[in-house]
Amino acid sequence: MLDADRQNIDAALLNEAVREAGALAHTLFRQGIRNWRKDDGSVVSEADIKVDALLKGKLQTARPGIGWLSEETADSDARLGCEKIWIVDPIDGTRSFVSGGSEWCVAAALIERGRPVATAIYKPVTEEFYSAVKGGGAELNGSRIKVRDGAGLEHARVIGNKTSLAKLAGQGITPWIASDIPLLLRLAYVACGVADGALSLGNKNDWDLAAGDLLVHEAGGRTSATSGRGMEFNRPQAWQDGMVAGGPNRHAAMIGALRES
């Protein structure tokens, strides 16, 4: 079987699994499901655990040779010996989920030799299904999407929290202060042109970025750490040093502004 054929088969499996997992999460939404705080202070719920189990069962049963990295599964060095791994965030935006908000999603990406080759992000409340395959473009509900780009940052709508966007002070941006929107949806909004850019500082977990990384690239944009270095996944450290995303010119302008700040 050709690599492209296998990639398309894996992408179809991924899309099916994420849709099914999103449907499960939606049945549990606003049902008063139990939630608690993990040691790092982040919120987790019974829905996260159930969605994680569904995705792991469906994806690893179908493709047992592919490794696994998920927010809700204990990490294992075994993944480092795998050429391919699934990177999963069962529910990105759990705080919004448990409070009855709409800004949450289910997401997963297939990584090959450190880079995503297929991705799916599903926001069930608004029936938004984002998907991408390496070399095949990015889609929202089956229609092609593309980033918006411009020569600079003036009037660019950049999404992030107050601390991150303060780094772009003086650039003329239109700030979109959105601490309640998880990173994967911020990247999805850049990919479809709802936002012109996204910026987040500090260490960011791979499961919060991998699916959105490919989506932005296949929509014609760029993503990187705040240093400008491209993201590489399935390393011993399962995180990236910040996130910058946008069209090629706006991404370059944001990196330039960060270096000067």
Please give the pLDDT value at position 6: 84
Phi, psi angle pair for 69, to nearest 5°: -140, 120
Same fold, 3-144 and 157-260: no
pLDDT in tens, 193-202: 999 999 999 9
pTM above 0.95, yes or no: yes
> Residue 241 — very low, low, confident or very high, per pLDDT cuts 50/70/90?
very high
> Residue 19 — very low, low, confident or very high, per pLDDT cuts 50/70/90?
very high
Please give the pLDDT value at position 154: 95
Spatial separation of the C-alpha atoms in residues 86 and 68, rounded to whole Å: 5
Q: Is the pLDDT of residue 2 over 80?
A: no
Helix 3-28 vs helix 46-62: crossing angle, to nearest 10: 160
Give the CATH fold of the 3-144 domain. Answer: Fructose-1,6-Bisphosphatase; Chain A, domain 1 (3.30.540)
Please give the pLDDT value at position 25: 98
pLDDT in tens, 214-226: 999 999 999 999 9
The CATH code of domain 157-260 reads: 3.40.190.80
What are the structural domain ranges in the chain? 3-144, 157-260
Mean pLDDT of 99-126: 97
Spatial separation of the C-alpha atoms in residues 208 and 182, rounded to whole Å: 8
